[in-house]
A and B are shown apart, each in its own frame.
Chain A
């Protein structure tokens, strides 16, 4: 146990610095792979159970950025809603990057606490670098687990960001990278049911694990 602890701590801590050092790989990848089911067009709606939610914020992204969520909807309505709004949280985070707005209302609508801070810190990092998103960003292998008899839902899914790139806002240069183990990321989001007037499930904790071998396929 102690062994796990040491690695875990070291790695997590070092991550903050290390990930920023990760160089842009070479590679002349095309960014135009069209993926079936991908969102296209800036007006794409959010995935959602909250489609009927008049207060739901815009989470759309530009047409050169394809967000692909290859999720099977759980049969349980609560779990389906939790998964759908976990997806919206990811969309909202991307929306915030596109808008270059660390205080974008979109992610705040779908998150609280640590998960909201995480989204904010992510957006800030992209704003700082003057980057936006492009390419194809794929999410799959979703799993929803009821916690405390359904008072909370734990949503987990994989991500392959191998064809998702950053693009310099000034000049539009795309920073291509190779697909490798760094492309695979595992997310766990702790989702809480809607409260008050909100119809959205909110992510309160997000755990992101890099180099996720279990997501490699």
Chain B
């Protein structure tokens, strides 16, 4: 993912005035003010503080079982309409932590996705001295002010998070940072749930490349089937656990390989079975390994090419379908759309007279 935006959000009057005083006259194109941000290419003095930004999620994701080595990739949902969560809220600061953050950063940071406050006064007014603010949710609801950052109370300030702040859905989390007592998930739209954590994890599940076994291994022969199979144990289910610190929310997402689909990469071929869908056997293997003498038998899983390649190989695409389910906090569970992961292998096909097995 390329980092594409450097957003300017809000400058407190104090910050602007201060900067002007220290810099005297200056003009960037027409604008002496912040409409002409000239961000540096590398970090500023607060650059290492992840707590300042609402594009950083605290959700911890780790794989708890399944293969970890080798070449791997991400799943694509077979449901093209499925999208990972665009934004949600999560606990970021205790009262004391918020105060420390404001003091340390002079109050520069995100108060929510798409709203940043620059200038300590903005923060102290609202979180220390009780000045009400307005959320930018549908109702433009009131955001009550706080006394002394709620220091001494047991709970957290929750803030919106959006992994991709260029998505218009990321504007759906329109509450500025708000307080929630400990051990309770706030009852607001876009509050995190185990399902949301599972969806978040979905995009981070890494599955192995689909290197299928083929026989003959180097060259196929016109009109003779190429056997395709996967030994048991090659594809095992993968479990990924996502949890949101400072809450009891977690979800374990399981990806289970259920089918292999073969696409020969040319119309001049037949697949076995004809659908190209090879099912997974009870022991987790797919298809049947080739054995000597099988050359003219029809494999349970494979391809017969009908024309030779002419220097340019066919691109055999093997995709594994993964069934996705999850279980989480308080016994919650459900399914997510199947995911697929493709690998393409080059196939050279020779004329029949060159057969040599």
Contact = CB atoms under 8 A, between A and B. Distances in A.
B30 A177 contact: yes
B30 A147 contact: no
A164 interface: yes
Interface residues on A, range: 35 or more
Nearest to B42: A10
Given A5-B50, A10-B47, A147-B171, A22 B33 contact: no
A19 B47 contact: no
A23 interface: yes
Given A183-B29, A209-B8, A161 B115 contact: no
A154 B39 contact: no
A203 B351 CA distance: 70
A6 B136 contact: no
A21 B133 CA distance: 32
A128 B55 CA distance: 33
Chain B interface mostly: loop
Contact of B28 (A13, A14, A137, A177): A177
B31 interface: yes
Contact of A125 (B33, B57, B114): B33
A113 B29 contact: no
Contact of B8 (A124, A192, A208): A208
B26 A22 contact: yes
Nearest to A143: B168
Interface stretch (A36-44, A56-64, A72-80, A114-122): A114-122
Contact of B40 (A10, A112, A179): A10
A117 B47 CA distance: 25
Nearest to A112: B134
A2 B37 contact: no
B158 to A, nearest CB: 18
B29 A16 contact: no
A162 to B, nearest CB: 6
A217 interface: no
A125 to B, nearest CB: 3
A117 B10 contact: yes
Contacts of B42: 10
Interface in B3-55: 3, 5-13, 15-17, 19-23, 25-40, 42-50, 52-53, 55
Given A2-B50, A13-B52, A19-B31, A190 B171 contact: yes
A148 B6 contact: no
Contacts of A186: 5
A135 B31 CA distance: 12
Given A125-B20, A154-B171, A208 B34 contact: yes
A12 B171 contact: no
Contacts of B32: 20, 125-126, 128-129, 131, 166
A165 interface: yes
B108 interface: yes
A185 interface: yes
Contacts of A14: 39-40, 44-45
Contact of A18 (B37, B114, B138): B37
Contacts of A210: 6, 8, 35-39
A9 B8 contact: no
Most buried by B among A2, A14, A15: A15
Nearest to B49: A9
Interface of A: 1-24, 112-114, 117-118, 120-122, 124-126, 128-129, 131, 133-135, 137, 145, 147-148, 151-152, 154, 159, 161-162, 164-166, 175, 177, 179, 182-183, 185-186, 188, 190, 192, 204-211
Top 9 closest pairs, chain A to chain B, by CB: A11-B39, A10-B47, A22-B28, A210-B37, A125-B33, A14-B44, A164-B30, A15-B37, A11-B6
Given A23-B28, A113-B134, A161-B35, 15 more contacts: A2-B56, A12-B116, A17-B23, A18-B38, A19-B38, A22-B26, A113-B136, A118-B10, A121-B33, A152-B138, A175-B27, A185-B35, A185-B36, A207-B9, A211-B37
